[in-house]
Amino acid sequence: MFETYKEIRQWREETMTSVVDDHRQLNTFHDQLMYQTLRIAKETIESEQGPPPAPFAFFLMGSAGRSEQSVWSDQDHGIIFEGESQCQEYFLNLGAEISHGLAIVGYEKCEGNVMASNPLWCR
């Protein structure tokens, strides 16, 4: 299990060439990279702000949501949470940490700001 975003990036760099020729393996690998990044981001925010104030789901859109990622992919994601709008600040912070972590791992931020750090995609 990885402890830092940089460790995940190193794993990405070491492993990408071994999965690049198989579309399913490549997309499964991207899913694993994002899952590990999300895990670290969630642990980071929980250590700073406590546990999530409501149930939530993180979701992918774009090529990741369609399982059509290539070697290069940017970020397109959001968070849906249960509860009142006062929970939004917590989840926006989580979304910002996820975006930060994914950028370190090697996923460029979405130019259109379709990310969980945007209030439009965090509700």
Express each pLDDT in 40-84 by its tens digit.
999 999 999 999 999 999 999 977 777 767 777 889 999 999 987
Return the SS3 of 16.
helix
Higher pLDDT, 106 or 85: 106
Other Cβ atoms closer than 10 A to 38: 18
Domain range for residue 32?
A: 5-121
Total structural domains in the chain? 1
DSSP state string for 48-105: HH-S-SS-EEEEE-HHHHTT---SS-B--EEEEE-S-GGGHHHHHHHHHHHHHHHHHH
Please compute the mean of the pLDDT values over residues 98-114 and round it to a whole number.
Answer: 96
Q: Which amino acid is at 65?
A: G
pLDDT at site 64: 76
Q: Residue 46 corresponds to which tokens in the numbers above? A: 């929980």
Average pLDDT, the chain: 93
Please compute the mean of the pLDDT values over residues 75-94 and round it to a whole number.
Answer: 93
pTM metric for this prediction: 0.92
Residue 121 has pLDDT above 70, yes or no: yes
Q: Residue 79 corresponds to which tokens in the numbers above? A: 């968070």
